[in-house]
């Protein structure tokens, strides 16, 4: 328990448990299960944020997420019964017990949300995964729990999203008529890339597995983008010149043996925006997370009483907390 910024002398309930549950207020467990907490919140549909969701569905009173996150969860095989399901649009607070919860947009994958929990004595929040610009900082918090996937200067990318997209499109245009271009990434990122390619007028046929396409259709519906020519990949030998294949990262090992050009989307590529890794393979440095300096920018603007860095989902949380204290003069720690 931490001292209250507003000087009321009360204690501020915000912490991260050993299983990655972000505990906000007295009622909410976010992005992992916690017995005894009546309300489970899911910030977005990535697997490191849906931990223990089946337990939460069985044992908690309510599950809260944005409408689009619920659609994604369905495609991913989670069933949340109607009586427990609370679809909460952005900026529509609801009261539960003596606390008020509100979801705020986060730019990460479709449906991603930040979470604010408020009571008369405290106001606490969690960014979830995010990138900037596009993620409004949560202000006036006693405690901010922050995602810091790239939480140290040695993980700093030196280019912007649009530069990475430009590099990807150049690789597609240079290679697509010699054979299919295979693009590897995780759910969320693949759908975002599909929509970004279409928005930029890239009209090649796109093939992907049924789940990737189902998620893309949900995202396209919410963003009002036409997915164009898109087909389920029933046989990996099918794609040919003029085709783009979007494939989950776990398929990469088996698909890279196939003819064509192979592109891996990864925020961990720090050498350049696009790096050739073989005769027909590339890394494109594209991430769904803020860079180190963007994390600092966010915290500077949010100006919370205190920061807790999520050490469950990032590897350098201790370092991140030290940098926040030294560079911003904001009290910071990390958990678990």
Binding piece for Zn ion, criterion CB under 5 A, among 73-81, 124-132, 177-185, 278-286: 124-132
- What residues contact 107, with CB distance under 8 A and at least 6 apart? 130, 131, 132, 133, 134, 135
Q: Identify any residues that bridge with 282 across adjacent strands, giving them in sequence order.
A: 263, 276
CB of 129 to Zn ion, least distance (A): 4
Minimal distance in Å, beta carbon 163 to Zn ion? 22
The residue (of 24 and 207) whose beta carbon lies closer to Zn ion is 24
Least spacing, CB of residue 99 vs Zn ion, in Å: 25
- Is position 192 an interface residue for Zn ion (rule: CB under 5 A)? no
- Residue 240: how many CB atoms within 10 A of its CB? 12
- Where does residue 85 fall: left (phi above 0), alpha (psi -120 to 50 degrees), or beta otherwise? beta
Q: Partners of 116 in the beta sheet?
A: 102, 125
The CA distance from 227 to 190, in Å, is 13
Query: Within a 10 A sphere around the Cβ of 266, how many other Cβ atoms?
Result: 18
Decide if residue 129 touches Zn ion (CB under 5 A): yes
Q: Which stretch binds Zn ion (CB under 5 A): 129-137, 165-173, 195-203, 220-228?
A: 129-137
Which one-letter DSSP state was computed for residue 249?
G
- Per DSSP, the three-state class of 280 is coil
Q: Tell me the C-alpha distance between 137 and 133, whole Å.
A: 10
* Least CB distance to Zn ion at residue 254 (A): 25
Q: What CA–CA distance (Å, rounded) separates 117 from 95?
A: 10
Facing residues of 2 across strands?
12
Using CB under 5 A, which of the segments 41-49, 51-59, 118-126, 248-256 binds Zn ion?
A: 41-49
Between 46 and 198, name the residue whose CB sits nearer to Zn ion. 46
Q: Which is nearer to Zn ion, 109 or 202 (CB)?
A: 109
CB 264 to Zn ion: min, Å: 17
Residues for the chain: how many in total? 336
205 with 181: CB under 8 angstroms? no
Number of neighbours of residue 275 by Cβ within 10 angstroms: 16
Size of the site for Zn ion (CB under 5 A): 2
Q: What sign for the dihedral angle of Cα 308, 309, 310, 312?
A: negative
Which residue, 118 or 129, is less far from Zn ion as judged by CB? 129
Query: 118 or 310, CB closer to Zn ion?
Result: 310
Instruction: Identify which range of 116-124, 126-134, 164-172, 194-202 contacts Zn ion by CB under 5 A.
Output: 126-134
Q: Which stretch binds Zn ion (CB under 5 A): 127-135, 161-169, 204-212, 328-336?
A: 127-135
CB of 331 to Zn ion, least distance (A): 26
37 vs 189, beta carbon nearer Zn ion: 189
Distance CA 199, CA 188 (A): 16
Sole window of 40-48, 95-103, 179-187, 304-312 interacting with Zn ion (rule: CB under 5 A): 40-48
Cis bond before residue 133 (omega within 30° of 0): yes
Among 33, 46, 123, 198, binds Zn ion (CB under 5 A): 46
Minimum separation from the CB atom of position 49 to Zn ion (A): 6
Q: Does the protein bind Zn ion through residue 310 (CB under 5 A)?
A: no
- In the complex, what is the shortest distance from the CB of residue 135 to Zn ion, in angstroms, rounded to a whole number? 12
Restricting to residues 88-107, name those near Zn ion by CB under 5 A.
Answer: none
Between 129 and 192, whose beta carbon lies closer to Zn ion?
129
Question: What does 136-178 look like in DSSP terms, one character per residue?
Answer: PPPPS-SEEEE--TT-SGGG---S-HHHHHHHHHHHHHHHTTT
Q: How far is the CB of 47 from Zn ion (least distance, A)?
A: 9
Binding footprint of Zn ion on the chain (CB under 5 A) = 46, 129
């Amino acid at each position: 328990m931490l001292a209250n910024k507003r000087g009321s002398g009360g204690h501020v309930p915000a912490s991260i448990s050993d299983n990655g549950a972000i505990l906000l207020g007295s009622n909410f467990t976010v992005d992992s299960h916690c017995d005894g907490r009546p309300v489970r919140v899911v910030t977005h549909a990535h697997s490191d944020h849906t931990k223990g969701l089946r337990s939460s569905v069985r044992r908690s009173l309510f599950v809260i997420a944005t409408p689009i996150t619920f659609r994604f969860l369905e495609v991913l095989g989670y069933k949340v019964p109607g009586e427990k399901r609370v679809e909460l649009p952005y900026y529509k607070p609801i009261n539960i017990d003596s606390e008020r919860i509100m979801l705020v947009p986060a730019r990460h994958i479709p449906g991603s949300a930040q979470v604010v929990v408020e009571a008369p004595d405290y106001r606490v929040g969690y960014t979830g995964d995010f990138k900037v610009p596009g993620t409004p900082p949560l202000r006036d918090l006693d405690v901010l729990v922050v995602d810091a996937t790239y939480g140290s200067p040695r993980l700093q990318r030196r280019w912007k999203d649009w530069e990475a997209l430009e590099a990807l499109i150049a690789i597609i245009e240079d290679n697509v008529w010699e054979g299919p271009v295979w693009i590897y990434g995780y759910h969320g990122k693949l759908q975002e890339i599909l929509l970004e390619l279409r928005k930029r007028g890239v009209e090649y046929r796109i093939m992907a597995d049924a789940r990737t396409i189902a998620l893309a259709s949900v995202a396209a519906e919410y963003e009002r983008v036409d997915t164009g020519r898109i087909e389920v990949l029933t046989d990996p030998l099918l794609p040919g010149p003029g085709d783009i294949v979007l494939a989950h990262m776990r398929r990469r090992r088996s698909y890279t043996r196939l003819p064509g050009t192979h592109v891996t989307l990864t925020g961990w590529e720090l050498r350049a925006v696009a790096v050739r890794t073989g005769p027909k393979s590339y890394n494109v440095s594209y991430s769904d997370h803020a860079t180190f300096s963007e994390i600092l920018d966010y915290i500077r603007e949010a100006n919370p009483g205190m920061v807790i860095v999520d050490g469950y989902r990032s590897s350098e949380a201790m370092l991140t907390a030290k940098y926040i204290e030294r560079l911003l003069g904001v009290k910071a720690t990390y958990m678990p």
